[in-house]
Each structure stands twice: as C-alpha cells, then as structure tokens.
C-alpha cells in the first residue's frame, strides 16, 4: 500500500466521520442525557388558544356528534351510548382527560424536567400529569389515563448555510422597486446559517380507554398515540408558540389515523396556573327544529 493510497483512505475515514457526526445532530456529540441533548427548549408555562374545534373543546357537544372523526362502527356504537351522568357516577370523570384527549382540553400546560431523562407535562385541566421518558423501553403493566410515553428528540442534520442568489422572477404584473422581478434584489444579505431547530417525538401506549372528545367519542386501549412537539420559530416581539401534532391510530374505534394539531402560547410565568379536577359540563339540549 503506497503512502498516497493510505492518505486517501485516512482522508476518506475522517470525512465519513465528519458527515456522520453532522447527520446525527446533538445526539451524536456525546450528549450525556436527554436534557443536555435537547435541540429545543420546551419548558415553561403554555396556554392553549382554542381557535379550532371550538365547539368540541370549549363546549360539550351533543351525544352522537362525531363530526370529522374517522370513526368505526364500533366507535360509533360506543359514542352513541355515552352517558355523562353514568361516567360521573362510576368515577370516570377523567375519561376525557386521558392521553388521547388532554391536549384538546382548554387549559395550561407546564413542561419541566423531572430528571435528566424524564420530561414532565402537567395540565391544570383535570390536574393531570404525563411523564415523557427518554431512552427506556417497555411499558408498565397497569394501565393509566396517561399511559406510558417514550420520547426522543428529532434533530435536523446541519444544512449548508446561505440562501440562494437572486434569480429571474416570473411576475407578470406591475413590479415595484425592491419587490423582486427580473434580476432585482432588494432584501438584506441572507444570514448564511440557520438555527438548529428540532422537535420532540412521543409515542404513548398502555393507557386506559378514554375520550377523544368530551361527548364519548372514544379511543381504545389498543390505540397508539404519536405526538410531535414543536416550539415554532418566532421573531423578537412575536408570541412564542408550541405546536403539538397528535396522531391517534386505533384499530378498534377508528378507520384511519385521526390527526389534530394544537397550539399553545408561551406565558411569562405560572401566575395563571389554576388546577381543576376532571369535570365535563353537560351538553346542550337537543336542537330545536325551528328552521
């Protein structure tokens, strides 16, 4: 083997290692634990802003109103049999506050590290707590409302910095100065780099049967709940938002994955934290047929 070939192999090995390290993101940099490896800070007090599905979340819909849920025949049968008074009498008030429904409850969410490998999510709605465990397999035998959650960070690999150069525009309407168009470039110099970003993926199983919606539209114990937590990029002066994307897959009560994404706004402190017990208001009386 000549010196030249040896050098080439060495160079190749070094470059391969560099690429591999970059592709791994923070996890590949010898991070000691989940807390120090976090590519994004999710901790803090967050308040849900109910700008979607308002009538299902702020109010209790009537029995049999399962609009937009890809519900199966069995799921429909369960939902049609929902009886709030019976739930309350049976001590099942928290059925709408389980892992599959808690994110949709109006309230505040407090995220903090319990230890270096456990992220704790507390909800003042229903006074619920979820523990998101990093790097541990298996699930406990006893099923709970919140189940057993396994978490992992998802970090994008680094991207070569810099944006593209200005290019030929294709606007056919009036072109204003600085507004682009053929060869124009009015913007500031691109930063040349991007922030790290990243999100938290959580897979939850091992929970008790609960409600996707307050009116008995259910998920079963056989379901799997996958969530992605994103702290959204924001400019100074803008609100900071947390987006939680939830995918519920339930071979029993759903015919296809049920997708929701829920927005929370960062609050400066916990001064508005107001824990309440699990409680569901009764639905409105049946609709009148006035029109």
Residues 68-127 that bind other proteins (CB under 8 A): 68-70, 106-108, 124-125
Q: Which is nearer to other proteins, 115 or 171 (CB)?
A: 171
Residue 166 touching other proteins (CB under 8 A): yes
- Chain centre to alpha carbon of residue 137: 21
The nearest distance, CB 211 to other proteins, in angstroms, is 15
How many amino acids of this chain bind other proteins (CB under 8 A)? Answer: 96
Instruction: Check if the beta carbon of residue 93 is closer than 8 Å to that of residue 228.
Output: no
Residue 291 touching other proteins (CB under 8 A): yes
Q: Which is nearer to other proteins, 63 or 143 (CB)?
A: 63
Among positions 128, 146, 204, 260, the unique one binding other proteins when judged by CB under 8 A: 260
Among positions 128, 146, 149, 155, the unique one binding other proteins when judged by CB under 8 A: 155
Residue 24 touching other proteins (CB under 8 A): no
CA pair distance 216, 228, nearest whole angstrom? 25
Q: Which residue in 148, 151, 133 sits closest to 199, CA to CA?
A: 151
Rg of the chain taking only CA atoms, in angstroms = 25
Residue 230 touching other proteins (CB under 8 A): yes
The nearest distance, CB 135 to other proteins, in angstroms, is 20
CA pair distance 10, 18, nearest whole angstrom? 12
Residue 261 touching other proteins (CB under 8 A): yes
Residue 277 touching other proteins (CB under 8 A): no
Q: Which is nearer to other proteins, 139 or 194 (CB)?
A: 194
Residues 273, 274, 275, 281: is their CA dihedral positive or negative? negative
Q: Which is nearer to other proteins, 30 or 188 (CB)?
A: 188
From 95-103, 126-134, 136-144, 232-240, give the range in contact with other proteins by CB under 8 A. 232-240
CA pair distance 199, 206, nearest whole angstrom? 23
Name every residue whose Cβ is closer than 8 Å to that of residue 278 and which is 6 or more positions away in sequence. 93, 94, 96, 97, 126, 127, 128
The nearest distance, CB 30 to other proteins, in angstroms, is 20
Considering only residues 193 to 222 of the shown chain, the ones binding other proteins according to CB under 8 A are: 194-199, 201
Instruction: Check if the beta carbon of residue 145 is closer than 8 Å to that of residue 210.
Output: yes
- Chain centre to alpha carbon of residue 253: 22
Q: How many CA atoms lie within 13 A of 175 on its CB side?
A: 14
């Amino acid at each position: 083997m000549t010196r030249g070939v040896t050098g080439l192999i060495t160079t190749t090995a070094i470059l391969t290692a560099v690429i591999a390290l970059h592709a791994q993101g923070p996890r590949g940099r010898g991070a000691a634990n989940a807390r120090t490896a976090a590519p994004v800070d999710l901790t803090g007090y967050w308040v849900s802003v109910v700008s979607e599905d308002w009538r299902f979340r702020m109010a209790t819909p009537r029995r049999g109103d399962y609009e937009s849920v890809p519900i199966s025949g069995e799921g429909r049968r369960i939902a049609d049999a929902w009886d709030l008074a019976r739930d309350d009498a049976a001590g099942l008030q928290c059925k709408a506050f389980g892992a599959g429904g808690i994110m949709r409850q109006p309230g505040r969410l407090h995220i903090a590290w319990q230890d270096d490998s456990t992220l704790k999510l507390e909800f003042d709605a229903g006074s619920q707590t979820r523990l998101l465990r990093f790097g541990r397999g298996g699930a406990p035998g006893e099923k709970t409302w919140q189940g057993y959650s396994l978490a992992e960070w998802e970090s994008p690999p680094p991207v070569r910095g810099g944006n593209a150069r200005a290019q030929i525009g294709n606007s056919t309407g009036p072109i204003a100065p600085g507004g682009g168009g053929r060869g124009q470039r009015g913007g500031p110099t691109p930063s040349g780099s991007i922030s790290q970003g990243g999100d938290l993926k959580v897979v939850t199983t091992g929970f008790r049967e609960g409600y996707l919606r307050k009116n008995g539209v259910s998920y079963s114990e056989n379901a799997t709940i996958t969530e992605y937590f994103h702290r959204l990029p924001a400019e100074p002066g803008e609100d900071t938002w947390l987006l939680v994307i939830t995918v519920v897959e339930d071979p029993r009560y759903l015919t296809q994955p049920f997708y929701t994404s829920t927005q929370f706004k960062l609050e400066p402190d916990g001064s508005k934290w107001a824990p309440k017990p699990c409680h569901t208001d009764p639905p409105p009386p049946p609709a009148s047929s006035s029109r």
